[in-house]
Amino acid sequence: MKKSAKTRQHIIETTAPIFNQQGYIGSSLTDLCQATGLSKGAIYGHFQNKEELALAAFNYNLRQLSQAIMKRVDAEDRPSDKLAAILQFYQDYHHFAIPFGGCPILNLGIDAQGQHPQFLARVVEVIKKLENHIRRLIVEAMQAGEFRPNLDEYKLSRQIFSLLEGAIFMTLSLNNSQYLLDATDLAQDILRDCQQSPTPLQ
Long-range Cβ pairs for the range 175-181 (8 Å, 24+):
177/94, 180/90, 180/91, 180/93, 180/94, 181/91
* Per-residue tens of pLDDT for the chain, all 202 residues: 687 889 999 999 999 999 999 988 889 999 999 999 999 999 999 999 999 999 999 999 999 999 999 999 999 999 999 999 999 999 988 888 887 778 999 888 888 887 788 889 999 999 999 999 999 999 999 999 999 999 999 999 999 999 999 999 999 889 899 999 999 999 999 999 999 775 443 4
The whole-number pLDDT of residue 199 equals: 45
CB 180 within 8 A of CB 110: no
The whole-number pLDDT of residue 101 equals: 79
Q: Which of 109, 192, 115 is nearest to 147 (CA)?
A: 192
Residue 195's DSSP bridge partners are 147
At residue 128, what is the residue type? K
Q: CB-side exposure of 152: number of CA atoms within 13 Å?
A: 6
Mapped onto helix, strand or coil, the DSSP state of residue 1 is: coil
Q: What are the chain's domains?
A: 48-193 (1.10.357.10)
CA–chain centroid gap for 144, Å, is 27
- pTM for the whole structure: 0.88
The whole-number pLDDT of residue 198 equals: 53
The whole-number pLDDT of residue 201 equals: 38
